[in-house]
Amino acid sequence: MIDTHSHLFVEEFDEDFHQVVGRAKEAGVGRIYMPNIDDTTIPALLDACAQYPDYCFPMLGFHPTSVDGDVMDRVLRMKKLLTEGHPYVAVGEVGMDLYWDKTYLKEQQKVLEEQIQWALEWNLPLVIHCREAFPELFEVMHPYQKEPLTGIFHSFTGTRDEVMEVLDYPGFMIGINGVVTFKKSTLPQVLADVPLERVVLETDSPYLAPVPYRGKRNESSYIGKVAEKLASIYGIGLAEVDSITTQNALKVFKSVE
């Protein structure tokens, strides 16, 4: 299995980072991809990945909840890190989040568009965060629908109509995490219209731990619970879910052999 989205570099793992990675390996997790948050988290991200260079892989992105009214200078300084020989395997996580606050809607759109340009310029996948903002997000993305963009719509929790719109972007996978195991989740019904060939596994650690760990700190070793739920939804074996979602993840992160 591949955890396509895990923040193991954040302070919640300061005390037991190595044990968490060890448990992931024991649980059958073959790789962990780590999305950045903003310019303040890059050192911790790179340090974590450097300790497991063939197992943990960093992305570079500016999260929408870090966007405020005067952020473009910070974002553009990050762009300079995408020089020859950079370690980043994707632009992420990026996107839009209007759940808490709509104050910086236009700024979020501007930052997203800037980072779409990075993905195109450096031929990197985009890892997209979208919460309560699909119309505004697609407003930015629609002009790029014919461009060779690839990536993941991470932590998808949208409606059937929204997933249909995502599927219209053929280079993108849909990231499914512990939310699919929650009792009131509508994802099992939504996924009825989604081929497993468009799905990747993720944890979003330390957030969104799957049942039976809900409410606790999430970690990559719990990804098997997500895979088990998908096996139930699609009516296939766990090994098949593992195989298909792993191949899907490798299609996205092509730069990592």
Domains and CATH numbers, the chain: 2-252 (3.20.20.140)
Q: Residues 18, 23, 24, 28: what is their CA dihedral angle, to the nearest 10 degrees? A: 140
In this prediction, residue 82 has a pLDDT band, given cuts at 50, 70 and 90, of very high
What is the phi-psi region of residue 241: left when phi exceeds 0, alpha when psi lies from -120 to 50, beta otherwise? Answer: alpha
pLDDT at 226: 98
The pLDDT of 115-133, averaged and rounded, is 97
Rg (CA), the chain: 17
Token pair 């699609």 is found at 234
Q: How many residues belong to the chain?
A: 257
* pLDDT > 90 in the chain, percent: 95
